[in-house]
Structure 1
Amino acid sequence: MIDVTDFGIAPNGEKVQLYTLKNEKGMTAKITNYGGILTSLLIPVSGKNREVVLGFDDLDEYTNTEYISNCPYFGALIGRYGNRINKGKFRIGDKDFQLNCNLGDHHLHGGLEGFDKKIWKAEILSDFELKLSYTSPDGEENFPGKLAVDVIYTLTNENELQIKYQAVTDQTTPINLTQHSYFNLSEQPKDILDHQLKINTDYILETDDSLIPGGQLLEVENTVFDFRTKKTIQQDIEELENYDDCFAFKESTKEPRKVAELTDEKDTLTMEIHTTFPGLQLYSGKYIDAGKMKKFGPFAGVAIEAQGYPDAPNHPNFKHGWLHPGEIYKQQTNYRFIF
């Protein structure tokens, strides 16, 4: 059964619920219909529940001004367009569009009030499946078209949290949905720099200082971005101080394929990431500063976001980032835990 409890009152006065999913192995996922946020993910390692995502037990922690101003997006569903759009601008045919810019000169993660701040309609599909739905009206954050989105969270008995995305539109619109959890697999509270990470790709997006793509894919060989062989996050981080980069797999796939794995410093818990998306944004969390009752600081977690490429609508060679009327947007990401 999925347990449903009250989680607080949203800024608009609506009641918000928390949905608790449990599998037969003792794994537990807690999801709220405010922003579709995964607030907690407990893994039963050696008979003890281990919290592996950064999150809060109180809705106010997600809605207060201080938290929002720091832009951590803990555990949230991101849309209409995840990651960055250069200057918030794009063109459809002969018409130019200007989105709200909420990260300096650029649009980030859906704008001033993205999907992470919306109340989603929740529907329990089974003992292990929760469906969240949101319809974004034409013109929201200056995006064209009415976009209807469904996201299904499924907790399997194979210790896998699956996230399935589907959307349709009545006008051509940019789209890039993702899930923004920060992971920390350690048994005791500590940073993620000693975590071991492997990413199965030869390429990373070329970006400028604002993390806007130039349109090219760069090879990771002989660079600090080479995670093709598992290494700690901190091994080569000194040169950069922080990872915030999109690793590229070139194409989407119809079925999820393994693209990365993350292991705690004691090699007691591994998380595999399987996805259909063509990209994986790695953010090592240097600028995390969030929480009042439960405080999280720099490198408290690592975000590994399966998604499309940033600014894809402005790069025809990326060949994605758009949804047209009559099409169905479908993507899936699975987080599989091995212990």
Structure 2
Amino acid sequence: MIDVIDFGLTRDGEKVQLYTLRNKNGLTAKITNYGGILTSLTLPLAKEIREIVLGFDSLEEYTNDNYLSNYPYFGALIGRYGNRINKGLVCLDDKEIQLPCNHGEHHLHGGNIGFDRKVWTAEIINNKDLKLTYLSVDGEENFPGNLNTEVIYKLTDENELQIHYKAVTDKTTPINLTQHSYFNLSNNFESILNHKLQVNTAYILETNDLLIPSGKLYNISKTLFDFQTKKTIERDIEDIENYDDCYAFGESTETPRKVAELSDKDGIVRMEVATTFPGLQVYTGKYITAGKFGPFSGVALEAQGYPDAPNHKNFKHGWLKPGEIYQHQTNYKLIF
């Protein structure tokens, strides 16, 4: 069953709703059609109802200038292109397309006003799933083509929050959709450094200091970036300072496969991440300053395509052509 309440008005006066999904086990997910934001995900533990994502209780908290000035994209759907594009430039049919450079000299998460700040059209399916749709028109943020995007949120009785992505276009366009929730599985939001993380790959994308990929994969086995064997996030954080890396799994898959697992300090709550995407951006949140949330208060596990993929032919994705269907799925399974 899905409950709907008003969540406020945008600065342009658009009405926004908040949708509450529940499963038979008592899990609750709250999603607003502003940015497709997952505002809350709670678990019914023996002694408490535990909130495990960073989020706010009002639309104003997501839209005020203070929040946007150091914008962490809490819980939002990201598009047209998640992560970074080098200097905002892509080349299509021997012509350069200049996308907005909203992160220093580079393009980040769809530009100045990406999918994360749009009001999506919402539809409740079978009284249990939430379908969000958005038409990104030709030329929006200088992206070519009319892109019809559909995202379905499902909260299953197997305690999985599933996110199903689908998109079609009438012109070839760069695309990389993702979901930008920050997770904290403990019973407070002080720090995720004591969380244990496992990521099932020996490779990350090689990047420069501004996190722009070189096009090469870097073998991280037995390095500080290696999470193939589960370890605490804090174990090597003093030397790393902050993880913000795209872990690489090779090709996309037709069905989700497990790529990562996160658990709280005491192992009371675990979360498995499964996805069809080829990459997982792990960001440990050193630069979070938003309301009551500070540095390392959450970790983002963003299943996605590779950053800057349109500029690297060997990445073999990053573009969507007319007649093709962009389709991916990510599952966050809670075990407690």
TM-score grouping bracket, smaller chain normalisation:
over 0.9
Q: Work out whether residues 21 and 127 of structure 1, in 8 Å CA contact, stay in contact via their aligned partners in 2.
A: no
Q: How does 1:226-237 map to 2 (within 5 A)?
A: 226-237=226-237
Counterpart for residue 337 of structure 1 = 334
Contact 2:99 2:107 in 1 (8 A): yes
Percent of paired sites with the same residue: 69
**SS where residue 236 of structure 1 aligns?**
helix
Task: Give the Cα–Cα distance (whole angstroms) in 2 for the partners of residues 277 and 81 of structure 1.
Answer: 14
* Alpha-carbon distance in structure 2 between the residues aligned to 1:128 and 1:183: 23
Distance in 2 (CA, whole Å) between partners of 1:189 and 1:13 is 33
Aligned match of 2:99: 99
Deviation of residue 56 (structure 1)?
A: 0.1
CA RMSD of aligned residues (A): 0.7
> Deviation per CA, 1:181-230, whole angstroms, max 9, x where unpaired?
00000023320000000000010000000000000001111211100000
Cross-structure match for 2:163: 163
Provide the rounded CA distance (Å) in 2 between the counterparts of 1:224 and 1:71.
28
Q: Shift in Å at residue 46 of structure 1?
A: 1.8
**TM-score (structure 2 length as normaliser):** 0.99
User: Tell me, which stretches of 5 or more residues in structure 2 are unaligned?
Assistant: none
Instruction: Map 1:117-266; keep pairs closer than 5 Å.
Output: 117-266=117-266
SS at match of 1:119: coil
Task: Provide, for residues 238-265 of structure 1, a one-character-per-residue CA deviation record: whole Å limited to 9, x for no partner.
Answer: 1111000000001100000000000000
The runs of 5 or more residues in structure 1 that have no matched partner are: none
Query: Cα deviation per residue 1:264-314 (whole Å; 9 max; x = unaligned)?
Result: 0011000000000000000000000012xxx10000000010000000000
Q: Is the 8 A contact 1:88 1:99 kept in 2?
A: yes
The answer to whether the 8 Å contact 2:207/2:213 transfers is yes
Report the AA paired with residue 79 of structure 2: G
Distance (Å, rounded) in 2 between the aligned partners of 1:228 and 1:254: 23
Corresponding residue of 1:110:
110
CA contact (8 A) 2:189 2:293 kept: no
Alpha carbons 1:258, 1:274 under 8 Å: kept: yes
What is aligned with 2:41?
Answer: 41
Aligned to 1:83: 83
Q: Which runs of 4+ in 1 moved over 2 A?
A: none
- Among 309, 318, 322, the alignment partner of 1:321 is 318
Amino acid at match of 1:335: Y
1:47 Cα offset (Å) = 4.8
Contact 2:189 2:298 in 1 (8 A): no
Equivalent pairs, count: 336
Q: Is the 8 A contact 2:152 2:164 kept in 1?
A: yes
The TM-score normalised by the length of structure 1 is 0.98
1:45–1:269 Cα contact (<8 Å) kept? no
Structure 2 residue 282 is the aligned partner of structure 1 residue 285: no
| SS at structure 1 position matched to 2:235 | coil
2:25 and 2:178 mapped to 1: Cα distance? 27
SS at match of 1:234: helix
